[in-house]
Amino acid sequence: MSALRFIDTHAHLDDPRFDGDRDRVVERARSGGVGTIINVGCWNRDNAFDGLHPILERYDLIRCALGVHPHDAKDVEDHAPFVLIRRLLERENSIWQERTVAIGETGLDYHYDNSPRDVQREVFRQHISLARALNLPLIVHSREAEKDTLRILEDEGAGEIGGVFHCFSGGLDMARRVLDMGFYLSFTGVVTFPNARKVHEVVRNVPVERILLETDCPYLAPVPVRGKRCEPSFIVHTAQKIAELKGLSLEDVARITTINAEDLFGLGSGPREVRIAYRIRNSLYLNITNRCTNYCTFCAKFKSYTVKGHYLRLKEEPTFEEVVRAVGDEPERYDEVVFCGFGEPLLRLDLVKKVGMYLKKRGCRIRIDTDGLANLVHGRNVLRELMFVDCISVSMNAPDSETYQRLVKTPFGDRAFPAIVYFLREARKFIPKVVATVVAVPGLDVEACRRLAEEEIGVGFRVREYNEVG
């Protein structure tokens, strides 16, 4: 049994190609860590979700979406499938009510044009109304119809409903518009195909917090099983490729995409576990406070307290003993231990020193991510107290005081920026590696920031992606 956990957000296990061995397919999915499969039920004239009901009854890990594929839009008469979906979902305590998590797949397919385009557009709009009425997200299919798909979603105000573009194959501009609308992007085995360069570019450039995984089985099996009938257990290959493209571990991608799918489809159960220590790649991050000196305009915590699938909203600040317990038995196995989290760690200077010394004695490499205002907060030069630190990463965030104050809304006013420049200069005396960072907020003069850091102060420089945390 795999220790990883995945959600296959788009499968067609009711397809007759699974009739001979569906039990074994589902068993392999479970063993491969697929904890939930969303089976997308497509209505058509001959099959009004009839094949889906027994599958829902037989397998407890299956959820479903209900809709009319754009290919079959031409067969919709008098709203028949929508009336049926409403009837199914209004049945109190029915399996349909319990397991239906989305409306779709719906959208536009101008590649095959199996239904007239004006009919596809009309049926797509009807799905959006239904999703709004039922308060369920949309699963959108769009093939060679990007402009019309986005126009209809925007016209209908679908951003309020939310949803996912399944098997996303558009370019980066389209991806950004989809994300701006609040939708997720879902990727199939196509991402593993060597010639899928456009998809690779999109995956590299969108936040992993907005990515879902799917197999679209029985179609689109990933490399190295390309050409076979696809099944949910193959999802690991898609996840592995996304990990490679994002510079993350497979474990990171499994955890993050699972939480993304839980958020979108309402699949989570109970409150999330708050992390004091959390792993990304092979680094261990310590979340010791959510308090901050500043109130940065670009801060991701104002949208969500989840970082790379870890929930960081502390109920109380942890004690030394709690941090050590969260770190576990072998901290030296990590590449580095980072004081970070959603908050300014040096507000808890004494705890940082105590935990830092403890970890140093265990042979750990220590990094602190800080806003660089600790000298102002504590009223003394704290850098001489941080000699156990191997690397310090300081959020410089601007090339000058005015820009800094506008971006981070610091309570220290015009004292803040000179204090950060001084902090960076002093840090070089006590800490082997010092890096000034900026978040690439639109309009920021990144080049001026680089010159200040590297040429005037003499420290390293790193640009952090806007909307990318961890």
Residues near ligand SF4 (CB under 6 A): 292, 294-296, 299, 301, 342-344, 371
Instruction: Give me the least distance between CB of 292 and ligand SF4, in Å please.
Output: 3
How many other β-carbons are positioned within 10 Å of the β-carbon of residue 151? 12
Instruction: Give me the least distance between CB of 426 and ligand SF4, in Å please.
Output: 20
What does the buried/exposed string (b/e) look like for 122-145 if buried means 16 or more CB atoms within 10 Å of the residue's CB?
ebbbbbbebbbebebbbbbbbbeb
Q: Which is nearer to ligand SF4, 165 or 404 (CB)?
A: 404
How many other β-carbons are positioned within 10 Å of the β-carbon of residue 158? 24
Q: Which is nearer to ligand SF4, 87 or 291 (CB)?
A: 291
Q: Which helix (H) or strand (E) holds 461?
A: strand 460-464
End-to-end CA distance of the chain: 29
Q: Residue 446: CA atoms inside 13 Å, Cβ hemisphere, count? A: 13
Instruction: Give me the least distance between CB of 156 and ligand SF4, in Å please.
Output: 34
Instruction: Give me the least distance between CB of 290 and ligand SF4, in Å please.
Output: 8
Instruction: Give me the least distance between CB of 462 and ligand SF4, in Å please.
Output: 15
Q: Which two tokens stand for residue 362?
A: 């265990």
Instruction: Give me the least distance between CB of 294 and ligand SF4, in Å please.
Output: 5
Instruction: Give me the least distance between CB of 424 and ligand SF4, in Å please.
Output: 16
Dist CA 241 CA 356 (whole Å): 35
Question: Which residues fall within 8 angstroms of residue 36, CB to CB, at 6 or more apart?
Answer: 7, 8, 61, 62, 63, 261, 267
Q: Which is nearer to ligand SF4, 44 or 304 (CB)?
A: 304
What does the radius of gyration of the chain's CA atoms come to, in whole angstroms?
Answer: 25
How many other β-carbons are positioned within 10 Å of the β-carbon of residue 97? 12
Instruction: Give me the least distance between CB of 311 and ligand SF4, in Å please.
Output: 15
Q: Which is nearer to ligand SF4, 36 or 410 (CB)?
A: 410
Using an 8 Å Cβ cutoff, are 242 and 211 in contact? yes
Q: Which is nearer to ligand SF4, 218 or 343 (CB)?
A: 343
Dist CA 370 CA 31 (whole Å): 42
3-state SS of 334-382 is CCEEEECCCCCHHHHHHHHHHHHHHHHHCCCCEEEEECCCHHHHHCCCH
List, edge to edge, every strand of the sheet that includes 277-280: 277-280, 283-286, 336-339, 366-370, 391-395, 433-439, 460-464
Using an 8 Å Cβ cutoff, are 367 and 335 in contact? no
Q: Which is nearer to ligand SF4, 459 or 469 (CB)?
A: 469
CA torsion sign, 251 to 256 to 261 to 262? positive
Using an 8 Å Cβ cutoff, are 273 and 72 in contact? no
Q: Which is nearer to ligand SF4, 243 or 396 (CB)?
A: 396
Q: Which two tokens stand for residue 96?
A: 């349909």
Q: Which is nearer to ligand SF4, 94 or 290 (CB)?
A: 290
Instruction: Give me the least distance between CB of 396 and ligand SF4, in Å please.
Output: 12
Instruction: Give me the least distance between CB of 419 and ligand SF4, in Å please.
Output: 14
Q: Which is nearer to ligand SF4, 85 or 439 (CB)?
A: 439
Q: Which is nearer to ligand SF4, 40 or 439 (CB)?
A: 439
